Structure 1
Amino acid sequence: MLDRKIFDVFSETADLRPRTQQQLLQVYTTLVSVIVFSMLGCFVAGRVPALGNHELVTLVGIVAGTVAVYVMRPTKENLQSRRLILWSVSWLIGTMIQPAVQVFFYYGNQDILYMALGTSFTLFASFAAVTMITPRRRVIYTVGTAISALASLSWISLIMYFYPTHTLHCLAMLISLAFSCVSVVIHTHNILDQARSGADLDPIVHALTLFNDLASIFVRILAILSNNKRRDEERGRNTRGRSSGRRHFGNACGTSVPIGGDTSGISWSWNL
C-alpha cells in the first residue's frame, strides 16, 4: 500500500510531455551554469584583486543586466544573447561577494563558508524536489505559511528597530531563512504549473529567479552560522577570563593548586 502511494506521488511529475520535460531540463541546466559562472567570478576576483575594487560599477552592471534579461523578448533569436547576459550577471555577483568570502579565509573560518554552501544546496534541492512530488493543495498551504512568515518577520523587524535584542535578531534570521525556503517552493510550483499548461518556459528568467532564491538561502545560512560562531568565541573568551581571574587570585593567596583541584589539607597564606 505504501509503495503504491509513493508511486502515485512520483507519477504527478510523469504526466509532462517530452517537450515540457526538455524545457524543465533547460531551466535547471541553465541554473547550474549560472552557479558555475558565479563561483568562477568569485575565484577570479580573489586572484585578481583589481576586479573587485569597483563595487558601484559592478552593482550597476548587475542591475542593468537583470533588467535586460526581463525586458528582452524570450525568442529563439534572443536566447543566446540573454543567456550571455545572465552569465555576465552571475559573474558580477560572484565578484561582488568575493570580499566577504575573503574575510572568512583571512580569519580561518572557511569551514563556516563550506558548511553554508553545502547546507544551501541541500535545502534548495530538497525543497525543489519535494515541490515536484507534492499535490497542489499542499503547495497552497505552503503559500499561506510564507505569508505568515513574512508578516511575522515584518513585525519582528519593527520591534527590533525600537528594542534591539539578540533573541529577536536570531528569530528574524530564522524566519527570513524559512521564507527563502518557501520561495523555492512557490517558484518551483509556478514553473511546473506553466509546464503542465503547455506554455513555453523561459529558461533564462526561471533560472535567474531560482538563483536568487539559492543566493538568499546561502546569505541567511552564512549569517546564522557566523552569528553562532561569534557567540561561541565570546563565551570562550569569557570562560578563559574567569579562569584567569581565579588563577591570579590563587597566586595572590600563595597556593599553586589548580582551579577545580582538591584543596583539603592546604594551609592558605595571604601575601599581604
Structure 2
Amino acid sequence: MESLFGFLDAQSQRRRRRTSSFESLKRLGHISPAVQSHLKHASVLDPVLCAGLLRARRLPSRPPQRRRRPHLGCMVSIAGLLALPAAESQQRNRFALLMSAAFLQGASIGPLAQLALHLDPRILVTAFIGTAIAFACFSAAAILAKRREYLYLGALLSSGLSILVWLQFAASIFGHSSSTFMFELYFGLLVFLGYMVFDTQEIIERAHHGDMDYIMHALTLFTDFVAVFVRVLIIMMKNASEKSEDERKRKKR
C-alpha cells in the first residue's frame, strides 16, 4: 500500500513539473511585452503576404521573355521599400510596396506552381502546409530559446549562402549537372531553414534595441518562407515524377 501511495505521489510530482515547465514556456519572460507585440504584428503580416503569393499563381502563363518581369518588379518593390524611411507617414506606402513585392514574387514562381498543379494538385497544398509547419516550429524554437542563443548561426549561414552563390556562378559557366542541382536543392533548403531560426532571433534582438520596423521584419521572414517553399515544392515534384515514371515502367512490363 505504501508503495502504491509513493508511486501516485511520484506521478503527481511529475505532472506538476510538466505543468510548471509548460507555463514557464508560455511566459516568455526573456522577451519584453513591447517585443512580443512587435512579433505579433510581424507574424500577422506573413499570412497576408502568403495570400498574395498564392493569389498570384492564378495569373495566366506568359511568354518566356516576359517571365523575368515579375522578378525584376519584385526587386524594384523591395528596393523602394528599403529606400522609404520607417516613418509613420510612410507606413501606408511601405505596406503597399510590401504587398506588391509578395504578389510579384508569387507571379515569378507562378510557372512552377502551374507545373505542380498539372502534375498533381495535392503537391502544391502539401508543400505549402509543410513549409508553414516548418516555419512555425523553427520560429517558435527561436522565440522560446534564450536571447542570442542562435545568433552564432549567422556566420555559418552566410558561408552556406556564399557557397550556393558560387555554385550558381560556376554552373552558369560550366553547365548544370544533376548532382550539383540536387546538392544546391537540399543544401539550400538546410540553409534557409537555419535562416528561419536566425532571422527570428535577430528580429527579437533588434526589437530589444528599438528597431520596431515590423514591415521590414515581415519581409525578412516572408523571404525565408518563399525560399523554403520553392525548394520543398521542387523536391516533392521530383519525387512525384520519379514515382509516376516507375509506375509507367511497371505497366509496360
TM-score, shorter chain, exceeding 0.5: yes
User: What is the correspondence of 1:236-247 to structure 2 with a 5 Å cutoff?
Assistant: 236-241=247-252, 243=253
Q: Distance in 2 between matches of 1:20 and 1:233?
A: 49
Name the residue aligned to 2:244: 233
User: What is the correspondence of 1:102-181 to structure 2 with a 5 Å cutoff?
Assistant: 102-107=114-119, 109-136=120-147, 138-140=149-151, 142-143=153-154, 146=157, 149-150=160-161, 166=178, 169-181=181-193
User: What is the correspondence of 1:39-50 to structure 2 with a 5 Å cutoff?
Assistant: 39-43=54-58, 45-46=59-60
Q: Distance in 2 between matches of 1:62 and 1:151?
A: 22
Q: Distance in 2 between matches of 1:21 and 1:194?
A: 12
2:79 pairs with 1:64? no
Percent of aligned pairs sharing the same letter: 21
Name the residue aligned to 1:254: none
Q: Distance in 2 between matches of 1:155 and 1:96?
A: 23
Q: Secondary structure at the match of 1:139?
A: coil
Name the residue aligned to 1:37: 52
Q: Normalization by structure 1: what TM-score? A: 0.73
User: What is the correspondence of 1:254-265 to structure 2 with a 5 Å cutoff?
Assistant: none
Native 8 Å contact 1:31 1:211 kept in 2: yes
Native 8 Å contact 2:192 2:228 kept in 1: yes
With over 3 angstroms needed to count, the CA separation of the structure-2 counterparts of 1:57 and 1:90, relative to structure 1, is same
Name the residue aligned to 1:224: 235
With over 3 angstroms needed to count, the CA separation of the structure-2 counterparts of 1:193 and 1:93, relative to structure 1, is same
| Aligned pair partner of 2:86 in 67, 74, 84 | 74
| Aligned pair partner of 2:29 in 2, 8, 14 | 14
The range that moved more, 142-151 or 84-93, is 142-151
Q: Distance in 2 between matches of 1:83 and 1:123?
A: 26
**Unpaired stretches in structure 2, ≥5 consecutive residues:** 1-16
Deviation at 1:7, TM superposition (A): 4.0
Name the residue aligned to 2:219: 208
Q: Normalization by structure 2: what TM-score? A: 0.78
Measured against aligned partners, the alpha-carbon deviations of 1:49-89 in whole angstroms (never above 9, x if no partner) come to 67999434433321211101011100001011110111112
Determine which structure has more spread, i.e. the larger CA radius of gyration.
1
Q: Distance in 2 between matches of 1:154 and 1:56?
A: 19
Say how many residue pairs are matched.
Answer: 236
